[in-house]
A and B are shown apart, each in its own frame.
Chain A
Amino acid sequence: EVQLVQSGAEVKKPGESLKISCKGSGYSFTSYWIGWVRQMPGKGLEWMGIIYPGDSDTRYSPSFQGQVTISADKSISTAYLQWSSLKASDTAMYYCARPEGIWGQGTLVTVSS
């Protein structure tokens, strides 16, 4: 079965760093793009960026460029989304997703002092 399994919920303080993960299984991890999507509480879906694990080609939405880093480790079939300095406004559900319609279960990130 093709699936994306994300890391668990996180509670962080403003200014802290964070890296969340998305592990792919049931398919050739290096052959398919994986993207990240943000959903703030009560709001819509926002596309953040995407990576092709085969060669690490990465594209960002202008809204998120410089705010987050997307990476992948093909040796362990895992994609990552990371922040160097979290803000309260980063509080949201984050999904990884393949454009073919395969989504992870979501990782809730809460940033609060």
Chain B
Amino acid sequence: DIQMTQSPSSLSASVGDRVTITCRASQGISNYLAWYQQKPGKVPKLLIYAASTLQSGVPSRFSGSGSGTDFTLTISSLQPEDVATYYCQKYNSAPHTFGQGTKLEIK
């Protein structure tokens, strides 16, 4: 099965910083990659699908890129409300494996 590896596992940045999280698939998955945001005690929220398509209602400071095996989630200007754990997920074929998560904190 295809493994999904995120880096870093945790990240501390200042408000206004540009933040990048990477996700690597062990085999090519075309652009079948989603990014989720999960705040403590909350249901995961879809941010991006098809690697780079912003879900309706998600702030434009979030963006995604990549194809094949390497993907990135970028927050262009970090806001306090972005504190959360972020997960990538492949969905080209079952199993729809998640990455291990990246915990983002404010410095």
Contacts and interface: CB of A to CB of B under 8 A. Distances in A.
Interface of A: 35, 37, 44-47, 49-50, 59-62, 95, 97, 99-101, 103-106
B67 interface: no
B69 interface: no
Interface of B: 1, 34, 36, 38, 43-46, 49, 55, 85, 87, 89, 91, 94-101
A106 B43 contact: yes
Contacts, number: 53
B67 to A, nearest CB: 19
A108 to B, nearest CB: 11
A47 to B, nearest CB: 5
A47 B44 contact: no
Contact of A95 (B1, B44, B55, B89): B44
Contacts of A44: 85, 87, 98-101
19 contacts: A37-B98, A44-B85, A44-B87, A44-B100, A45-B44, A45-B89, A45-B98, A46-B98, A47-B89, A47-B95, A47-B96, A47-B97, A60-B95, A100-B46, A101-B34, A101-B45, A101-B46, A103-B43, A106-B43
A61 B101 CA distance: 18
A88 B99 CA distance: 25
Nearest to A105: B43
Given A47-B97, A99-B96, A100-B49, 18 more contacts: A37-B44, A44-B87, A44-B98, A45-B38, A46-B98, A47-B89, A47-B96, A47-B98, A50-B94, A50-B96, A59-B94, A61-B97, A62-B95, A95-B43, A99-B34, A101-B34, A101-B46, A103-B44
